[in-house]
Structure 1
Amino acid sequence: MRERSSWRDWNPLRRFQHGRYSYQQIPSLSVESLNGAFQLASQQWPQNTVSWRERRRKCGIAKLSWSKPIVLAVASILILTLLGGGGYHHHQRKMREKNNPKDVPYYWMHYLRLNGFYNGIRTLVPYSQYAAENGYNKTEPLSMQTSPEQLKLSKGQPPLEPQVYSPYPEYSSQQYLADHHTVHTCYLDEAETIPVPDIYAYPGVPQHMAEPFYGSYDTLGLEDKMCFERYGRYGPYGFGYNATSNGTSPGMNAESEGSDKIFEKIRHINYDHVDWGSAQRRCHERNKARFEDGNGKKRVGRQAYVLRTWTGYEYTPNQVIALRAMVNELSLKSGGEYDVHFLVHVKNDSIPIWADRGVYQQTLEENVPREFWGISTLWSEAQMEMYYPHPFPGNFANMAGSKVHSVYRSAHFPLQWFAQQHPEYDHFWNWEMDIRYSGHYYEFNNRIAEWARQQPRKGMWERARRFYIPKYHGSWQNFTNFVEQETADVDVGKNDQVKSGPVPIWGPIKDFPNIGMMESPEGTSPPTTYEQDNYEWGVGEDADLMVFNPIFDPATTNWVFSWDISGYGDHTLPPPPRRVAIITVARLSKRLLDTMHKETWHMRHTMFPEMWPPSVAMHHGLKAVYVPHPVYFDRDWDVGYMNGVFNYPHEIWESPFGWGEHNMLGSSFYYNSGFSGALWRRWLGQWENGEGGRAAEEAGTGRMCLRGTLHHPIKHERGPEA
């Protein structure tokens, strides 16, 4: 007799290959259903994570038309089953929660909360005196959890002095000029009277601030011995003073002890009169020799930093400040190495933006703040239908239930189109409006790009599928050696059913059934065998794709959009091998975008946006890396358990890239993180779920000071400061 399977072994997608299910919608994984458990477990961040429907709304997609009643019926039965059904079970659960606060749905909720994030600038110490709060084991008390009274607090002013933070090369040094062209200073105004401002950081960190759990500052070459508070980071862009002084008002009512030392050094710039498009063009023109070959000097590549926005988007004061920081730090301060662009989705397809310049300009002016008009490009789905016309045959499973040209299913179409219009750029950053970085943008972008450039191709795909946990794996070299050994030990014969490509991946992959495929670019064929290569191929080669979550094989998970594949033909054959990186933020090379464009235009090949760039890179042998940037968690996870949960789920249902995504709720970076937004708003000085705000900061340790951290998603920044 066949062994009876448990409920978690049942995959509803197997029964309804074309049903409109979303793994985010299973109630036991929804944040709302866990609200009571979070409160009992002393979890203080709000329940603002992003459901599947919210992701659709954010991208301007209308609600689904649910045309399959049977799917709804089965889904309802499944929901009731998972909830336990009936009032009795609900009553029993409430009683257990009342009597046992530790009776929570997920194992990670048993871990103790980390509070060192909220230690303020009055606890700043030099890095040599710093001790992290993390215990890395739930069975041991957090030895660093101390009350403000027990910390050695400075009285009044912070104990350390803020310093100018400049991660740029010494452009005027003989060493730099020996290999590079002169970098000419850029200004905000045409008369060249307003220099680009500096930002400020403190040369230390708050005592007992928590450490990240996966990713590493040291590995990527990022600064981890200094921290950024809100006035030094954002004051130069209008934060902390009112409109009469050319400010934007946020931060006016927050704790500000010691901020006068910063404000007396910065100029209150009236950004309302700044034309960012004109400023970027002038900066490039002054420095164009840097980006051309010749005179024996090294050519500097140009990069487009593309922010995806849409008509009707609300540009709040805090959002505008973040955008100003990007243009200043990436473009103007760097002598034109970057250009920041807005790629604006016109959601009304009836507006002929491609046919009438007046209509185009009116639409732009009605939907984008004036200072950003000159860096904005409009597009619409109707335009993409003309650029990449139908048909896109042979879709395996449209789980989103929307048309192939919708931004939700093909956000890469406008980026591919944009890259074709701008051949002057070597790389394109695909960025979202709900990401914030508490550190310096230029430092982050350039350090991770340099790290990626030095990564060898051997073991590249195998390393990219794992979370790097330094406290568990040791150094990056140890991690590299471990992955190589793990790859060598794989018994492919026992795992054929979950493999979608050769192990290890080495060069282009074309030995799979498909309807045609473009030729791969030059330089993608391995110069030697995998075994003969000594981690040399790829070193010094720019990455074609950099992503910020691991690049996983969707065949090993229950990620719901795994089958959203079009143009590859016969459904009786297996789908093509593919890879996915959750959250579409990435840096893509011109070479990769050209290849994606050709595959779409000539072959009508496409996949779900988070799957398309990594899959094209894998098919064509392009260089793709997962950047192990530092990611924090709100609780003191055991790192051995974390490694098992994130890197070795026992079943595909437990993968963090599927129904196991609840493990990411307390992280600082994931599509459904709740902690990220709460932490960011506390850093801004806002009152959040009964904690923080001006009164608490003034009575306690002062305002927060964070190391450079990538936060996502930030759904709003409108909390009270008092």
Structure 2
Amino acid sequence: MLLVTTLLLASMLGTTIYKHRWPKGDQGREERKQYHWEHYPRLRGFFNGVRTLVPFSDYVPEQTFAKSAETGGPEDWMKQKYPAIGKENKDPPMDPIPFNPYPDFTTQEYLKKYEKVETCYLDEDETVELPDIYAYPGIPQNQTAPFFGSLEELGMNDKVCFERFGRFGPYGYSYPREEGGLGMSGKSESAGSEKIWSWEKKIDYREVDWSSAQKRCYEKNKVRFAKNETVAKTADGEEAKLVKKKLPRHAYILRTWTGYKYSDYQILTIRAMINELSLKSGGEYDVHFLLHVKDDSIPIWSSEEIYRKTIEDNLPKEFWGMATLWSEQQMRMYYPEPFPNNVYNHAKAPIHSVYRSAHFALQWFSQVHPEYDFYWNWEMDLRFSGHYYEFNNRIGEWAKKQPRKGLWERSSRYYIPELHGSWHNFTEMVEEELYTSDEKPVWGPPKFENTGMLPPLDETTPPTTYLDDRYQWGVGEEADLLTFNPIFDPAKTNWVFRDDVTGYDLELPEPPRRCAIITVSRLSKRLLDIMHRETYLMKHHMFPEMWPPTVAFHHGLKAVYVPHAVYFDHNWPLEIIDGTFNRPPKPTDSVFGWGEHNQLGNSFYYNAGFSSEWWRRWLGSRENDQGGPEEEEAGTGRLCIRSTLFHPVKFEKGSE
């Protein structure tokens, strides 16, 4: 009886506590303790619509406007300079224009350097021309500015913005399925959106075969991707051989899996990738699906029919010819056990599991498809508001210009233009910090104790000492690795997977390592070849986000963090955000570890919470009881934002 009474009392007490803390399920749950950054003012300029558009020369970022209002700054800063929103005419104050980031392929200057670009089409009869996308030549007044990165520094157009009709309308967003579109804009605020059809023709996408279109485009233009000699006449009338420049080719790889569901929004995004990267560039890119077959019992390698059916069951029809299948069982055969001497397997997963070895399939793909110079490792929950070719091309060109001196150190930090000033100032600041610290600069392959390493490449040996170099080594050299978060030293953090290191001598200290969170990256064929050899020959292995940067580090390759625009939903003081992200006082404070809660309110990280909210608001959906068709209609209209990379976006919805 005593035992039963005790249990009853304990049960009643527990129930009372539960009801007291969460009387209505999650709705009544006690407020958690807020993070320090949540006490900063919320920024709302992200959601200013197309009716507030102003020329870039009149644009004042929200942070500047807020600061001037607090401090009594110049009157012209404080005024919201955009036309009054009328009740009758709710059209944007300017018209959209075609957005074309490609070089003029027809100029004499271009044709002196490169082979002629043959125009590509969507159909075999070459009657369906490739669509353009449209941007507004302005910015919504007081739209929030990014804290990290700079479009201007990367050579991208920061004076225009994209809204959903101009960005996705030409890919079928805004016209009905009976006309070959997707009919997704029924309830959307759309004032002025019809103007794009004065230039653009609606395309019937029901019969488009993107794989065939890509292959035809490459065949027409393949002379551009090999060294070709053309004959010209010299001043004396004699024939002279002119060698035109070879353009690199890119494999743009979408990492997907069986069972993945493709929404109409995702289909729009993929159509944009193929059109903008591959077809309109004259075949510089090929878009691929690297499709993970999660069920090892499916005999995809034994039957062409099963291989084809697996693709057809797991991809929309218009993309069927673009898929390559792989499985974990295949990787176990390709990179067989054993992989000895693991330091610590925090994931408690087999080494061939995709969670620990996502790079295995990418390495294998690069061996099966050696025809490419670069391989883009792209995740399915990435989204981009701007033009793909502008982004991919400009960041590659920018990285090519970067000198190697101080490069690893610059790439370990976030660039904050408003605080750091120009990129030149940032470069000098990082150099000064390095000079006054105890750190040795990275200069060529690092030397460390080991009992088995592949020899470094001759071409990665520095031509001079670090001090003698005048920021010349590496200029004009293509980057072997591009990342979209800083490349940091995990040993200086408490990042959870920092010790998932395999195949090195456990009697010696762990090898020096580098890491970039999120596996999204561009990798050179040279880097992937070395990763492949390190895996099958040396049995070396690390967690996927650590492996490519570490191999590049060990072998003296050129690795670059791209300072793309990253936004925050709270108005951080600049010194605080710099101290938090670039100078954490101790390892446990690192934003790549226990301090990663600092990333929740931004537009790009593996667990960023703000990214999906902002993206879906841009698509017209109502989020957290704000936005949506009625609010856009009654207010400043649909969102228009500059070129921004979003991650993660786990699901999408629009104005429905």
Report if TM-score (shorter chain) is over 0.5: yes
Is the contact made by 1:578 and 1:615 (CA closer than 8 Å) also made in structure 2?
Answer: yes
Change (3 A) 1:149 1:547: closer
Structure with larger Rg: 2
2:293 paired with 1:346: yes
SS of residue paired to 1:306:
strand
Is the contact made by 1:241 and 1:247 (CA closer than 8 Å) also made in structure 2?
Answer: yes
Match of 1:557 in 2: 493
Is the contact made by 2:619 and 2:653 (CA closer than 8 Å) also made in structure 1?
Answer: no
SS of residue paired to 2:117:
coil
2:576 paired with 1:629: no
2:120 paired with 1:194: no
Match of 1:436 in 2: 383
Please show how residues 324-403 of structure 1 align to structure 2 within 5 Å: 324-403=271-350
Is the contact made by 1:631 and 1:668 (CA closer than 8 Å) also made in structure 2?
Answer: yes
- Distance across 2 between alignment mates of 1:602 and 1:251: 54
| Offset at residue 146 of structure 1 (A) | 9.5
- Distance across 2 between alignment mates of 1:142 and 1:631: 26
SS of residue paired to 1:288:
helix
Amino acid at match of 1:407: V
Match of 1:484 in 2: 431
2:442 to 492, 505, 508: 505
Match of 1:280 in 2: 214
Give a deviation string over 1:644-666, Cα, whole Å, max 9, x none. Answer: 00011111111110111111111
Is the contact made by 1:583 and 1:671 (CA closer than 8 Å) also made in structure 2?
Answer: yes
Q: Give the percent of matched residue pairs that are identical in Structure 1 and Structure 2.
A: 58
Match of 1:79 in 2: none
1:156 to 90, 93, 118: 90
SS of residue paired to 1:411:
helix
Amino acid at match of 2:326: W
Change (3 A) 1:87 1:135: farther
| Offset at residue 355 of structure 1 (A) | 2.3
Give a deviation string over 1:256-294, Cα, whole Å, max 9, x none. Answer: 111111134322222231111111111011011100102
| Offset at residue 175 of structure 1 (A) | 1.1
| Offset at residue 142 of structure 1 (A) | 9.5
- Distance across 2 between alignment mates of 1:718 and 1:121: 20
Gap regions ≥5 residues in structure 1: 1-85, 493-502
Match of 1:414 in 2: 361
Match of 2:535 in 1: 600
Match of 1:496 in 2: none
SS of residue paired to 1:217:
coil
- Distance across 1 between alignment mates of 2:445 and 2:208: 47
2:101 to 167, 180, 205: 167
SS of residue paired to 2:357:
coil
Match of 2:246 in 1: 299
1:526 to 462, 475, 483: 462
Give a deviation string over 1:286-335, Cα, whole Å, max 9, x none. Answer: 01110010221111110000000000000100000000000000000000
- Distance across 2 between alignment mates of 1:149 and 1:174: 43
Amino acid at match of 1:408: Y
- Distance across 2 between alignment mates of 1:440 and 1:585: 18
- Distance across 2 between alignment mates of 1:176 and 1:649: 48
| Offset at residue 141 of structure 1 (A) | 4.2
| Offset at residue 574 of structure 1 (A) | 1.5
Change (3 A) 1:146 1:482: closer
1:206 to 128, 140, 150: 140
2:508 to 573, 576, 586: 573
Change (3 A) 1:678 1:346: same
Change (3 A) 1:676 1:147: farther
Amino acid at match of 1:213: F
Match of 1:235 in 2: 169
Change (3 A) 1:281 1:149: closer
1:609 to 535, 544, 551: 544
| Offset at residue 218 of structure 1 (A) | 1.3
Change (3 A) 1:142 1:590: farther
Match of 2:630 in 1: 695
SS of residue paired to 2:301:
coil
Is the contact made by 1:305 and 1:431 (CA closer than 8 Å) also made in structure 2?
Answer: yes
- Distance across 1 between alignment mates of 2:307 and 2:71: 58
Q: Which shifted more, 343-352 or 516-525?
A: 516-525
Give a deviation string over 1:675-703, Cα, whole Å, max 9, x none. Answer: 10000000001111111111000100010
- Distance across 1 between alignment mates of 2:564 and 2:627: 27
Amino acid at match of 2:133: I
Match of 2:474 in 1: 538
- Distance across 2 between alignment mates of 1:576 and 1:481: 29
Change (3 A) 1:609 1:437: same
Change (3 A) 1:142 1:321: farther
Change (3 A) 1:404 1:147: farther
2:409 to 462, 471, 477: 462
Give a deviation string over 1:47-75, Cα, whole Å, max 9, x none. Answer: xxxxxxxxxxxxxxxxxxxxxxxxxxxxx
- Distance across 2 between alignment mates of 1:342 and 1:453: 27
Is the contact made by 1:136 and 1:639 (CA closer than 8 Å) also made in structure 2?
Answer: no
| Offset at residue 240 of structure 1 (A) | 1.7
Please show how residues 669-708 of structure 1 align to structure 2 within 5 Å: 669-708=604-643
Amino acid at match of 1:153: I
- Distance across 1 between alignment mates of 2:473 and 2:614: 41
Match of 1:70 in 2: none
| Offset at residue 601 of structure 1 (A) | 0.8
Amino acid at match of 1:290: R
Match of 1:547 in 2: 483
Is the contact made by 1:306 and 1:431 (CA closer than 8 Å) also made in structure 2?
Answer: yes
- Distance across 2 between alignment mates of 1:479 and 1:395: 39
Is the contact made by 1:599 and 1:605 (CA closer than 8 Å) also made in structure 2?
Answer: yes
Give a deviation string over 1:534-581, Cα, whole Å, max 9, x none. Answer: 1000000000000000000001111000011111122x4211100000
Give a deviation string over 1:464-501, Cα, whole Å, max 9, x none. Answer: 11111011111100000011111111125xxxxxxxxx
| Offset at residue 137 of structure 1 (A) | 8.5
Please show how residues 11-22 of structure 1 align to structure 2 within 5 Å: none
Is the contact made by 1:559 and 1:658 (CA closer than 8 Å) also made in structure 2?
Answer: yes
Give a deviation string over 1:484-523, Cα, whole Å, max 9, x none. Answer: 111111125xxxxxxxxxx21110124222x411122341
Is the contact made by 2:53 and 2:82 (CA closer than 8 Å) also made in structure 1?
Answer: no
SS of residue paired to 1:546:
strand
SS of residue paired to 1:576:
coil
Change (3 A) 1:388 1:620: same
2:44 paired with 1:109: no
- Alpha carbon RMSD of aligned pairs, Å? 2.5
Is the contact made by 2:260 and 2:314 (CA closer than 8 Å) also made in structure 1?
Answer: yes
